[in-house]
Structure 1
Amino acid sequence: MAPPLSYKEFIAALKSEGLTVFEEKTDGKSPEHHNRNHKGAWGPVNGVMIHHTVTKGHDATVEICRKGYASLPGPLCHGVICKSGHVHVVGYGRTNHAGLGDDDVFRAVVAESYMTNPPAANEAKTDGNRHFYGFECENLGDGKDPWPSKQYVAMVKAAAALLRAHGWKQKSVIGHLEWQPGKVDPRGFAMSKLRSDIAACLAKPAGKWGGVTTKAKLTLESLAKRVEALEAKVK
């Protein structure tokens, strides 16, 4: 367990990995002051959670994650990772991204004790909004919307930045689908693969990881092209 990074440390960690970071203001104030801390504790922190947004479009995605909905007020995460590969910080502190999750998963993440994947989530008891940093990643989440390589690389680097700052390993990163029963996000890639790439990033000095291998990059790009071709046929 660890206290959360200060806001300045959080931003510095992201930038140290070579990420382009935008700090999105709310009512003229820094995202440092946009949170849900009045609804519960923020920290100790124990890991990083990855989501997909079920949205399309850069501006709309950032705005939804910043403001939230009537039934789920924002911020809905700490950072939004758009298809451009940029990270938009929309809040800092407790955010509405994780909800209640599985106790066994929580213990496995804290101990970094699982093998390839954490135990299956079958209950919702532990307050994830208190214990996890959250990144919402722009994607429709239908299994067809592609993940551009620059976005995927940014996801790896954003997670690695926080792990490096806390001295955690890749097993401190989980997907929402691994945390809460019934969730499917992020859809379109395996969390085990993401964790493997995060480990590769952590093996390099901050900002020195070159991204996914050429073979993996070509696979991601070829899958995106195949999806586009199939969609064109449907139209």
Structure 2
Amino acid sequence: MAAPMPASTFLAALRAEGVTVVEVGDWRTHNRNSKGPWGPVHGVMIHHTVTSGSARTVAICRGGHTALPGPLCHGVITKDGRVHLVGYGRANHAGLGDDDVLQAVIAERVLPADNEANTDGNRYFYGFECENLGDGEDRWPDAQVETIVRVIAALCRHHGWSVQSALRHRDWQPGKIDPSGPGMDWHEVQARAAQRLGTKPPGTPLPQPQRPTVSVAKLAAAARTDPAAKGTPVSYAGTRTVEVALVDAGLLEKPLLDGHFGTATITAYAAWQRRCGYRGAAADGIPGRTSLAALGHAHGFTVTA
């Protein structure tokens, strides 16, 4: 979980990463917040516009059109490498996408194929539209690609994310191809952003199961480990799956996703138990089968004994 940063902090983060920013009108308050929530945010999404001409592109992304009102993103990255800020808050950029992809972004692991459109991405992602015709021939200039790298680094740096919290529109919504074209190598973009952050570039691990299995007994044992006790704490791989679910539920900060059922995770799980209707000693942060099954049903895992 991460609350969207204030607009002034967003602007400062971009500038601190060396991004040239153009502020367009009332961008700080131009949004679609009246149509639904914005946040928690889990990543940054990159698009291309299928337009040409910087002024026209910025105008369209700010104002939208009859079928899709603006803003259509938070920032427009034009071919000269400048970022034009056109809105802040909920923006019509991501649309409905795949909940399995959202879980993978939260967990910062390899993305599964996007084969569903069932989750509101406008709520969960920062969005940047990039000026490009999207015809497979329009080349991405070096200045524009470098700015994409810096935008990703800026937002990941602020939130404590890895570059695997950055994704393309094509990764999120079935049928989309953006961003693509000559000069756009997404693996290189992520590698360069990771270099700016001083971290390793994403590898290519085997995809995780789309619906993991969590043992309530093993999870409870991990949660009962006394951090002050001597010896090795109980470790259980399913802890990370549950932490991802708690992040998705808005109860745990994403940087605290570490696979250890420590104080922060216990506090977050206790909040989940209270959300399920438990009170007092029944909401102690130690997972039980009923509350865990409810979390798994809502956030994509199966519970066993």
2:192 is equivalent to residue 197 of structure 1: yes
- Distance in 1, matches of 2:68 and 2:180, equals 22
2:118 is equivalent to residue 125 of structure 1: yes
- Distance in 2, matches of 1:200 and 1:124, equals 33
- Distance in 1, matches of 2:150 and 2:70, equals 24
**How many residue pairs are counted as aligned between the two chains?**
197
What residue in structure 2 maps to residue 39 of structure 1?
35
SS where residue 168 of structure 1 aligns? coil
- Distance in 2, matches of 1:99 and 1:191, equals 21
Question: Percent of pairs identical after alignment?
Answer: 59
What residue in structure 2 maps to residue 149 of structure 1?
142
User: CA offsets, 1:171-224, max 9 Å, x none?
Assistant: 0000000000000000122322221121112129xxxxxxxxxxxxxxxxxxxx
Q: Could you tell me the TM-score, scaled by structure 1's length?
A: 0.82
What residue in structure 2 maps to residue 167 of structure 1?
160
Q: RMSD of aligned C-alpha atoms?
A: 0.9
- Distance in 1, matches of 2:69 and 2:49, equals 15
What residue in structure 1 maps to residue 180 of structure 2?
187
- Distance in 2, matches of 1:191 and 1:4, equals 25
What residue in structure 2 maps to residue 12 of structure 1?
12
- Distance in 2, matches of 1:104 and 1:32, equals 31
2:32 aligned partner, one-letter code: R
Structure 2: any 5+ residue segments left out of the alignment? 200-305
- Distance in 2, matches of 1:16 and 1:110, equals 25
SS where residue 50 of structure 1 aligns? strand
What residue in structure 2 maps to residue 100 of structure 1?
96
- Distance in 2, matches of 1:61 and 1:203, equals 33
- Distance in 2, matches of 1:179 and 1:49, equals 9
Structure 1: any 5+ residue segments left out of the alignment? 205-235
1:75 aligned partner, one-letter code: P
- Distance in 2, matches of 1:103 and 1:44, equals 15
- TM alignment of 1:12-31, pairs within 5 A: 12-25=12-25, 30-31=26-27
2:130 is equivalent to residue 137 of structure 1: yes
User: CA offsets, 1:133-173, max 9 Å, x none?
Assistant: 00000000111101110110001101110110000000000
SS where residue 3 of structure 1 aligns? coil
User: CA offsets, 1:35-62, max 9 Å, x none?
Assistant: 0000000000000000000000010000
Q: Which is bigger in relative contact order (C-alpha 8 A, separation at least 6)?
A: 1
Q: Could you tell me the TM-score, scaled by structure 2's length?
A: 0.64
Segment drifting more, 187-196 vs 146-155: 187-196
SS where residue 48 of structure 1 aligns? strand
- Distance in 1, matches of 2:124 and 2:52, equals 28
What residue in structure 2 maps to residue 69 of structure 1?
65
1:22 aligned partner, one-letter code: V
2:47 is equivalent to residue 51 of structure 1: yes
1:140 aligned partner, one-letter code: L
1:72 aligned partner, one-letter code: L
SS where residue 140 of structure 1 aligns? coil
Structure 1 runs of 4+ with >3 Å offset: none
- Distance in 1, matches of 2:73 and 2:57, equals 12
- Distance in 2, matches of 1:76 and 1:20, equals 20
- Distance in 1, matches of 2:171 and 2:145, equals 19
SS where residue 69 of structure 2 aligns? coil
2:107 is equivalent to residue 111 of structure 1: yes
